[in-house]
Protein backbone atom coordinates (compact mmCIF):
# COMPACT_ATOMS: atom_id res chain seq x y z
CA UNK A 1 0.00 0.00 0.00
CA UNK A 2 1.00 3.60 -0.50
CA UNK A 3 1.79 5.57 2.65
CA UNK A 4 1.91 9.36 2.48
CA UNK A 5 3.15 11.80 5.11
CA UNK A 6 2.53 15.50 5.61
CA UNK A 7 3.94 18.45 7.57
CA UNK A 8 6.21 17.49 10.49
CA UNK A 9 5.38 13.81 10.12
CA UNK A 10 6.90 14.02 6.61
CA UNK A 11 9.90 15.98 7.88
CA UNK A 12 10.61 13.56 10.72
CA UNK A 13 10.36 10.47 8.53
CA UNK A 14 12.36 12.20 5.81
CA UNK A 15 10.15 11.28 2.88
CA UNK A 16 6.77 12.30 1.49
CA UNK A 17 5.56 8.86 0.45
CA UNK A 18 6.54 5.23 0.05
CA UNK A 19 5.17 1.84 -0.94
CA UNK A 20 5.19 -0.67 1.92
CA UNK A 21 3.64 -4.05 2.51
CA UNK A 22 3.01 -4.55 6.22
CA UNK A 23 2.76 -8.11 7.56
CA UNK A 24 -0.68 -9.69 7.35
CA UNK A 25 -1.24 -9.48 11.11
CA UNK A 26 -1.17 -5.67 10.95
CA UNK A 27 -4.92 -5.11 10.67
CA UNK A 28 -5.74 -1.66 12.02
CA UNK A 29 -4.37 1.87 11.76
CA UNK A 30 -3.09 1.66 15.35
CA UNK A 31 -1.26 -1.59 14.55
CA UNK A 32 0.19 -0.02 11.41
CA UNK A 33 1.54 2.89 13.48
CA UNK A 34 3.08 0.44 15.97
CA UNK A 35 4.68 -1.51 13.10
CA UNK A 36 6.02 1.67 11.47
CA UNK A 37 7.54 2.74 14.81
CA UNK A 38 9.55 -0.48 14.83
CA UNK A 39 11.07 0.28 11.42
CA UNK A 40 13.59 2.87 12.58
CA UNK A 41 14.27 5.87 14.76
CA UNK A 42 12.87 8.34 12.20
CA UNK A 43 9.50 6.55 12.37
CA UNK A 44 9.74 6.24 16.15
CA UNK A 45 10.32 10.02 16.30
CA UNK A 46 7.45 10.83 13.91
CA UNK A 47 5.04 8.63 15.84
CA UNK A 48 6.35 9.28 19.36
CA UNK A 49 2.87 10.57 20.20
CA UNK A 50 1.15 8.23 17.79
CA UNK A 51 -2.21 8.79 19.42
CA UNK A 52 -2.13 12.44 18.28
CA UNK A 53 -1.39 11.64 14.65
CA UNK A 54 -4.34 12.02 12.30
CA UNK A 55 -4.93 9.38 9.65
CA UNK A 56 -6.82 9.24 6.38
CA UNK A 57 -7.56 6.10 4.38
CA UNK A 58 -8.06 6.73 0.67
CA UNK A 59 -8.41 10.47 1.38
CA UNK A 60 -11.03 10.20 4.12
CA UNK A 61 -10.39 10.84 7.81
CA UNK A 62 -10.49 7.68 9.89
CA UNK A 63 -10.00 6.56 13.46
CA UNK A 64 -7.05 4.56 14.74
CA UNK A 65 -9.22 1.45 15.08
CA UNK A 66 -10.12 1.51 11.37
CA UNK A 67 -9.21 -1.64 9.41
CA UNK A 68 -6.55 -1.18 6.72
CA UNK A 69 -7.05 -4.34 4.63
CA UNK A 70 -8.85 -2.57 1.76
CA UNK A 71 -6.76 0.61 1.85
CA UNK A 72 -4.87 1.74 -1.24
CA UNK A 73 -3.43 4.94 0.29
CA UNK A 74 -2.99 5.76 3.97
CA UNK A 75 -1.96 9.26 5.02
CA UNK A 76 -0.44 10.33 8.34
CA UNK A 77 -0.35 13.96 9.44
CA UNK A 78 -0.55 16.27 12.45
CA UNK A 79 -3.80 17.96 13.49
CA UNK A 80 -4.77 20.34 10.73
CA UNK A 81 -4.09 24.08 10.85
CA UNK A 82 -5.68 25.44 7.69
CA UNK A 83 -8.28 28.14 7.33
Partner 1 sequence: MQPTIRVQRQDFDLAHEAARLGEGRPEIGAVVTFTGLCRDEQGQLSALELEHYPGMAEEEIGRVVQEALARWPLLGLTVIHRFGVIRPGERIVLVATAATHRAAAFAAAEFLMDFLKTRAPFWKKTHLSDGSAGDWVAAHEADEDAAGRWR
Q: Which residues contact partner 1 by CB under 8 A?
A: 4, 6-8, 56, 59-61, 75, 77-83
What does the DSSP 8-state code read for residue 72?
A: S
Q: How far is the CB of 80 from partner 1 (least distance, A)?
A: 6
| Closest to partner 1 by CB, 4 or 27 | 4
Q: How far is the CB of 82 from partner 1 (least distance, A)?
A: 3
d(CA 20, CA 41) in angstroms, rounded, equals 17
Q: How far is the CB of 75 from partner 1 (least distance, A)?
A: 6
Amino acid sequence: MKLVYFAWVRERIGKAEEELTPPAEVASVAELIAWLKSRGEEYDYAFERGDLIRVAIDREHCRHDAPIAAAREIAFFPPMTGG
